[in-house]
A and B are shown apart, each in its own frame.
Chain A
Amino acid sequence: MYNVPNENGRFGDFGGKFVPETLMLPLEEIEQELTKALADEQFKAEYVHILQEYSGRPTQLTYAPNLTAKLNGAKIYFKREDLNHTGAHKINNAIGQALLAKRMGKKKLIAETGAGQHGVAAATVAARFGMECIVFMGEEDIKRQELNVFRMKLLGAEVVPVYSGNRTLKDATNEAIRYWVQHCDDHFYMIGSVVGPHPYPKMVREFQRIIGDEAKRQFLEREGTLPDVVVACVGGGSNAIGMFYPFLEDDVILVGVEAAGKGVDTPYHAATITKGTKGVIHGSLTYLLQDEYGQILEPYSISAGLDYPGVGPEHAYLASIGRVRYESVTDEEALAAFQLVAREEGIIPAIESAHALAKAFQIAAMLRKDETVLVCLSGRGDKDVQAVMNDLKGGLDIATTHNS
Chain B
Amino acid sequence: MQLLTTAKPMFIPFIVAGDPHPDVTIELALALEEAGADILELGVPYSDPLADGPIIQRAAARALRHRMTLQKAMELVPEMRKKGVKIPIIIFTYYNPVLQLGEESFFALARKNGVDGILIPDLPFEESEHIRKRSAETGISFISLVAPTSKRRIKAIASHAQGFLYCVSSLGVTGIRDTLPDELGEFLEEVKRYSRVPVAVGFGISSSEQVNMLKDRCNGVVIGSALVRKIEQLADKLQQEETKTDALNEFRSYAQSLVAPLE
Using a CB–CB distance below 8 Å, which chain A residues touch chain B? Answer: 8, 16-26, 164-165, 170, 174, 177-178, 181-185, 277-283, 290, 292-296
Contact = CB atoms under 8 A, between A and B. Distances in A.
Interface in B126-150: 126-127, 145-150
A23 B150 CA distance: 9
A238 B48 CA distance: 23
A18 B95 contact: yes
Contacts of B97: 293-295
Contacts of B145: 20-21
B122 A18 contact: yes
A21 B173 contact: no
B84 interface: no
Given A18-B123, A21-B145, A296 B47 contact: yes
Interface of B: 46-48, 50-51, 53, 57, 64, 69-71, 94-101, 121-127, 145-153, 157, 168, 171-173
Contact of B146 (A19, A21, A177, A282): A21
Contacts of A164: 57
Given A18-B122, A290-B96, A294-B70, A178 B53 contact: yes
A165 B48 contact: yes
A24 B99 contact: no
Contacts of B70: 293-294
Contacts of B94: 280
B122 A281 contact: no
A178 B122 contact: no
B100 A170 contact: no
B54 to A, nearest CB: 8
A283 B149 contact: no
Contacts of A178: 50, 53, 172-173
A307 B69 CA distance: 26
B186 to A, nearest CB: 16
Contact of A294 (B96, B125, B146, B153): B96
B121 A294 contact: no
A182 B69 contact: no
A230 B71 CA distance: 45
B50 A25 contact: no
Given A17-B127, A178-B53, A295 B46 contact: yes
B203 to A, nearest CB: 9
A33 to B, nearest CB: 16
A20 B50 contact: yes
A21 B168 contact: yes
A182 B172 contact: yes
Contacts of B124: 17-21, 24
19 contacts: A17-B126, A18-B123, A18-B124, A19-B124, A20-B50, A20-B168, A21-B168, A22-B147, A24-B126, A25-B152, A25-B153, A26-B149, A178-B50, A178-B173, A182-B173, A279-B100, A290-B96, A293-B101, A295-B47
In the A-B complex, list the 6 residue pairs whose CB atoms are closest, starting with the nearest: A294-B100, A182-B172, A294-B97, A22-B147, A295-B47, A294-B96
Nearest to A288: B96
Contacts of A293: 69-71, 97, 100-101
A112 to B, nearest CB: 13
A20 B48 contact: no
B51 A20 contact: yes
Nearest to A295: B47
A280 B126 contact: no
Given A20-B168, A177-B50, 13 more contacts: A20-B147, A21-B121, A21-B145, A22-B171, A164-B57, A181-B51, A280-B95, A280-B122, A283-B50, A292-B100, A294-B100, A294-B101, A295-B46
B173 A18 contact: no
A296 B147 contact: no
A20 B52 CA distance: 10
B123 to A, nearest CB: 6
A164 B47 CA distance: 10
Nearest to B151: A25
A290 B150 contact: no
Nearest to B50: A177
A281 B48 contact: yes
Contacts of B146: 21
A281 B168 CA distance: 22
A25 B149 CA distance: 6
B48 A296 contact: yes
A184 B96 contact: no
